[in-house]
Chain A
Amino acid sequence: MAESIPATPELAHDEHGHHEQSFASKYLFSTDHKMIAKQYLFTGIAMALIGGFFAYAFRMQLAFPGMDIPFFGVVSPGEYNSLITNHGTIMIFWVAMPIILAAFGNLVIPLMIGCDDMVFPKINRLSYQIFLLSALVLISSFFVEGGGFGGSWVAYPPLSSEPQYNLTPLGSSLWIGAVGLEFVAFLLGGINFITTTMNSRAPGMKMNDIPIVVWMIVIASVLFMASVGPLLAGAIMLLFDQNLGTAFYDPTRGGDPVLWQHLFWFFGHPEVYVVFLPPLGMVADIITTFARKKLFAYRTVLYTVFGTGVLSFTVWAHHQFISGIDPRMANIFTVTTLLISIPIAELMFVYIATLYGGRISLTTPMLWALSFIAEFLIGGVTGIFLGASGADVYFHDTYFVLAHFHYTFFPIAIIGFYMGVTYWFPKMFGKMMSDFWGKVHFWGTIIPFNMIFIPLFVLGTAGQHRRIYDYSHFPELMTPGMQDMRVFATMSLLVMLAFQLVFLINFVNGMIRGPKAEKNPWKANSLEWTTESPPPHGNWPPSEMPTVYRGPYEYSVPGREKDYWPQNEPT
């Protein structure tokens, strides 16, 4: 595998050599991986604004039930269900997936392994186009008669399959259709990520010289491709149940609603790792750069991640402990679930150990990368309560679960996005963002984030169950103290949302007026920093395609004048 085959230039660039490109071919129908990365990034940001707005609307309803909410109006119970359902769906499938996996995967894979583009650039373009279509289908579902789908992002039938139960005949079909299209888009993208990394590495780049973030994206793509098939079939069956009168999930006609739960979570749990691994990889590359340290035990990290990937296929039914499955099955899934804590703990130890003996500068990307570790630890340890079947009997479907997975998904989708963008911004746009305003935004995000979700842990422990529009039918949950906590969480959310404006301004301002970025502003080792910022079409001039001599983490090597040693510098 050490031998590498460069992507054939005529395949990648047959239709847009170096002549002037029209606006459409440069921005809309581009096959350049860097442009497709930006398309995914901007679409993902737009969807994040929608998902964030939904969170604002339903949090306001929870804090002030029945209030006429500014920019939204009064939330009806049906609208509330649709808001929470689509908040979850958007944040996972239309924000975390396009930004974390597709945007950064497209941006960094060819640049970090030293090739000119993806192996299948047209499939790459098709992947984005299908993704965009899926986003438009989802958005259209909010405006059809009956409103958007409100059966929660897990969409358990018969609620999701029978219009007389969910009251959103069109919304639920469009929702499942959009999710299905989105899966197809990322299947196509995943083919490219895996094939490109395996076949197009720069001469000399061995398996152990691949930056961890690239490895993680490749493993994430494998997990996605291996787990999504059953759910795609399940989604089609759901669509048939909704529209063609089949009865795959209808118990009155021989179907089984629990079948969907197995198909959903067989995908749903690996999906967590699909979006978790890429930011975990970014952390490795960012902390080594800003700690000027070699990654602690590179090969251990790799084997641990392989192990996590395999184990992630064996834990799905821990979402279903009390769903009526045979209770003996819960024991098996408790064992596998607790086992998966071992590789994840190992990864955390490795990252913490990497800091030892470093020379740490707390730049904005470094702050994000470090906060990922600090916050994810909370998400990790609270998961143990839920994976332990005996304790899950109480915690299932409470806000404890909700707070737990926001402590994993917020680091994944939001911290992952900010650390990636602040780190690779110079390479993407050729300009620098303001470090000062970056730090203001960091603290203005990370402090309110904890202030939102710590009260929700307490509420969940007190028995507050999820997806409730108004708690007035539950006297035990309507104490003044509990309502105060709901208000506090909502206020913290408003503060956090307000600070996102700081980022948007800094981001746009950096793109337009930021100082010009040099080739290697962070003095990092990996190959993307050896070309211009932004890289030209084809990434390097054909005569300067890089050759690799060492791994990406050779920082502070004794006896060298500089504390970094780029991968392409001859010995």
Chain B
Amino acid sequence: MIESLVPAGSSYAGEIDLLVNMILWIVGFWFVLCEVVFFWLIFRFRKKEGVPGQYISGEEKSQKRWITIPHVLVLVCDIFILVGAIWVWYDIKQDLPPAQAEVRIISQQWAWTFVHEGADGEIGTADDITTINELTVQVDTLYHYKLESLDVIHDFSVPVWRLKQDAIPGRLITGWFEPTLTGSFDIQCAELCGVGHALMGGTVHVKNAADYASWVAENSTMSLASAATPHAGGE
């Protein structure tokens, strides 16, 4: 149900969409069943002259099974959902596959700072590329992100990637993503962070290998040239 509104742009977006669709079918079935029975009973047992109500305690086994059987079936459905939910969760949040590249994400009221690897493929060197509110990554590359906050709680969210992670001041949080779709997409801050919360948007540019290489070449030279001044190399 998500993929019809938001394209799936990361390696795990499809897993989440599949899980959501499975839940949709399971709970949709129970929801429709309950509502149909409910409205049918209201219609069927409307007050009619000369027809008294029935006296049913619901305490006898033969009566109780009308609720115990659905009850057991709900439990079975829950187990399916549980397995799916934990499976997907494990892949996205608990497991950390080996990285091919790394990016630092620094959040503050009300902007994102992204530190990219330069041509040397390492963070913390002079050719790092630092940008504000614009993240540039290479498609089909597995990134580790290191997320931090300088003031209040923020949340790094990219809907096309199905990625969300709170940034907690005082902690460095590591996670991963692997973009699979080229293009430019929204970055959101998904945790209320003060009066400028609505300004805290950004854009992620997912480029193919050639475009990414030329972007890096162009920007890391600029970084090196102006290594002494902060915030150089931005767009």
Contact = CB atoms under 8 A, between A and B. Distances in A.
Contacts of A77: 195-198
Interface in B82-141: 82, 84-90, 92-94, 109
A384 B168 contact: no
A350 B190 CA distance: 39
B47 A390 contact: no
Contact of A389 (B54, B85, B189, B191): B85
Contact of B168 (A291, A294, A323, A556): A323
Q: How large is the interface on A (under 10, 10 to 19, 20 to 34, 35 or more residues)?
A: 35 or more
Of B67, B84, B86, most buried by chain A (CB within 10 Å of CB) is B67
Contact of B53 (A352, A389, A563): A563
Interface in A334-348: 334-335, 338-339, 341-342, 345-346, 348
A11 interface: no
B45 to A, nearest CB: 5
Interface string B32-66: 00110111011001111001111111110001101
17 contacts: A77-B197, A81-B192, A81-B195, A296-B56, A338-B85, A348-B34, A352-B37, A356-B56, A359-B53, A377-B34, A384-B26, A387-B85, A390-B89, A393-B164, A397-B191, A458-B5, A461-B6
A342 B194 contact: no
A167 B67 contact: no
B201 to A, nearest CB: 4
A387 B27 CA distance: 13
B30 interface: yes
Of A167, A349, A382, A471, most buried by chain B (CB within 10 Å of CB) is A349
B71 A346 contact: yes
A394 B59 CA distance: 43
Given A381-B31, A389-B86, A159 B15 contact: no
Interface stretch (A37-45, A126-134, A249-257, A496-504): A249-257
A431 B53 CA distance: 28
Contacts of A293: 53-54, 56
Nearest to B39: A374
A557 interface: yes
A426 to B, nearest CB: 20
A358 interface: yes
B34 to A, nearest CB: 6
A527 to B, nearest CB: 21
Contact of A461 (B5, B168, B193): B5
Contacts of B94: 327-328
Nearest to A346: B71
A467 interface: yes
B30 to A, nearest CB: 7
Contacts of A251: 168-171
Contacts of A385: 20, 23-24, 27
Interface stretch (B154-162, B205-213, B218-226): B154-162
B78 A165 contact: no
Contacts of B191: 156, 397
Interface of A: 77-78, 81, 150-152, 156, 158-159, 162, 165-167, 251-252, 256-258, 291-300, 321-324, 327-328, 330-331, 334-335, 338-339, 341-342, 345-346, 348-350, 352-362, 370, 373-374, 377-378, 381-382, 384-385, 387-391, 393-394, 396-398, 458, 461-463, 465-471, 473-477, 555-558, 563
A357 B37 CA distance: 13
Given A358-B45, A385-B20, A474-B188, A352 B38 contact: yes
A346 B162 CA distance: 33
A359 B51 contact: yes
Contact of A355 (B27, B41, B164, B189): B41
B47 A350 contact: no
Given A390-B88, A476-B186, A353 B53 contact: no
Given A251-B168, A345-B74, A353-B58, A391 B16 contact: yes
B31 A377 contact: yes
A374 B31 CA distance: 9
A342 B163 CA distance: 30
Interface string B140-184: 000000000001110101010011111111110100000000000
A338 B82 contact: yes
B217 interface: no
Given A165-B109, A476-B159, A257 B201 contact: no
A158 B84 CA distance: 35
Contacts of A458: 5
A385 B22 CA distance: 10
A356 B153 contact: no
A158 B152 contact: yes
Interface residues of B, number: 90
A253 to B, nearest CB: 10
Contacts of B45: 291, 355-360
B70 interface: yes
Contacts of B195: 77-78, 81, 150, 167
Given A300-B64, A357-B54, A377 B198 contact: no
A476 B185 contact: yes
B1 interface: yes
Given A257-B168, A341-B74, A463 B5 contact: yes
Nearest to A150: B195
B164 A384 contact: no
Contact of B157 (A252, A331, A342, A465): A465
Contacts of A558: 55
Contacts of B28: 381
B78 A256 contact: no
A353 B195 CA distance: 50
Nearest to B59: A297
A409 B232 CA distance: 50
Nearest to B1: A461
Given A294-B55, A335-B82, A388-B84, A373 B38 contact: yes
Contact of B197 (A384, A393, A468): A468
B166 A323 contact: yes
B122 to A, nearest CB: 26
Given A357-B45, A393-B163, A349 B89 contact: no
Report, nearest first, the 3 A-B pairs whose CB atoms are least far apart. A251-B170, A390-B88, A357-B54
B2 interface: yes
Contact of A463 (B53, B63, B159): B159
Given A252-B169, A330-B93, A397-B155, A390 B16 contact: yes
Nearest to B12: A393
Given A324-B168, A334-B82, A352-B34, A389 B197 contact: no
